[in-house]
Amino acid sequence: MSTDNPAKDLGRALEEHAPALEGHREPTREDASKLLLPLGRLVLEGDFQSAGPTLEHVGSLFQRQEAAWSRVIGKLLADRADAYCGQVEALPTPAPAEELAVLEALREELECLIQACLALNAPPEEALEARVRGLDATLEAHLDAG
């Protein structure tokens, strides 16, 4: 995320990615990432005052190109999950602190994406979530050992 203010990041993303949201062009992974990361952060922070109306607005805009958004979001989630899982599976023992910090940040972003999808009633595939959550224990063990 670009700032410590996800509501501001989301407002900026809504403006910058309006053409995709309004159906004037096909959505891209960048559109999905820039919109879902701050939205997921708001959900995780419990800031439903900021997230609630935006969730309804974004959800209604996503419906205009539901198949395209579903495809882009699915690909984004799959790629981020593959990156996270692959890196966790390849961690050496002991794992360097820098590598662990990168993985924690990647996992946090992935959780933001998952939470945004859940809030928009577009849950990720169960197998994806199960794979990610299954490797969380491995990451935690490395973090505890370091």
User: Rounded CA gap, 88 and 82, in Å?
Assistant: 10
Residue 1 lies in a domain: no
pLDDT score at 142 = 93
DSSP state letter for 91: -
Residue 64 lies in a domain: yes
Instruction: Decide if pLDDT at 2 tops 70.
Output: no
pLDDT in tens, 101-117: 999 999 999 999 999 99
pLDDT in tens, 50-90: 777 788 888 888 888 999 999 999 999 999 999 999 999 99
Two structure tokens written together for 19: 């053409």
Residue 132 lies in a domain: yes
Segments forming the whole domain that contains residue 86: 6-145
Residue 91 lies in a domain: yes
Residue 75 lies in a domain: yes
Number of domains in the chain: 1
Instruction: Decide if pLDDT at 38 tops 60.
Output: yes
Angle (nearest 5°) at CA 116 between 7 and 144: 95
Two structure tokens written together for 92: 């050496």
Residue 63 lies in a domain: yes
Residue 96 lies in a domain: yes
Backbone angles phi, psi at 122, to 5 degrees: -130, 65
Residue 65 lies in a domain: yes
Instruction: Decide if pLDDT at 1 tops 60.
Output: no
